[in-house]
Structure 1
Amino acid sequence: MTEELERLRNQIIKLVEEKGYPGELGALAADSLGSEKAMTRMIGWLSHSEPRSAEDIADEMLAICEDRDNWRKKKEAEFYQQKYNQYLWDMKK
């Protein structure tokens, strides 16, 4: 894990503990998020919200993961669409 990821992970754990939940929940959320952008988004949410339960934190983590996965799928589809378009273009020549 890079230094930046470790710093973001520790920040999520700290924020979760400040909200009154166990640090293990923060560690699990941070590990599940995995990327700097996703962790930064979770930090923003934790900094500006008052979760009513641990489930709220887990739900937000899952929503961020889903957005990340959808973005990856979109980029993958765009890549393969471009390859297919190139293939069609080459066939016309």
Structure 2
Amino acid sequence: MDNRREWSIYRDELVSAIVSLGFPGEFGNQIAKQLGSPKAMQRMCKYLNNVKPKSAELIADEMLSICTEIERWKEKKACEEANANYNRMLWEGLFDDE
């Protein structure tokens, strides 16, 4: 399944879950746009189906929490890659000794 189709499927699922809680569909579209990835939207759907929040603020707060966690994970991976490159440089040397 291509990424656009997957994104569209999870967006529709998220919007449907938000509408079923009594909120407007446009709110669901904006939440989906902010989350940005199918996995994040799937995670948000699980939250909505399990917790069934009563206010838009709770939904927005969970969305921000998911986005923050994703950003931290990306930063962690970037730091790990930079550290691996630095260690490789220390091990192999900065310049070739040929």
Same fold at TM > 0.5:
yes
Give the match for residue 71 of structure 2.
69
Aligned residue pairs: how many?
93
Of 1, 14, 17 in structure 1, the residue corresponding to residue 16 of structure 2 is: 14
Structure 1 vs Structure 2: percent identity of aligned residues?
40
TM-score by length of 1: 0.94
**What residue ranges of structure 2 are gaps of 5+ in the alignment?**
none
- Counterparts of 1:51-66 in structure 2, within 5 Å, are 51-66=53-68
Name the larger-Rg structure: 2
Q: What is the CA–CA distance in structure 2 between the aligned matches of 1:12 and 1:36, rounded to whole Å?
A: 10
Q: Which residue of 2 aligns with 1:25?
A: 27
State the AA in 1 paired with 2:9. Answer: R
**1:3 alignment partner in structure 2:** 5
Residue 52 of structure 1: CA displacement?
Answer: 2.1
* Alpha-carbon distance in structure 1 between the residues aligned to 2:43 and 2:55: 19
Match of 1:40 among 30, 34, 42: 42
Give the residue type in structure 2 aligned to 1:82. A
Query: TM-score normalized by structure 2?
Result: 0.89
CA RMSD of aligned residues (A): 1.5
Unaligned runs of 5+ in 1: none
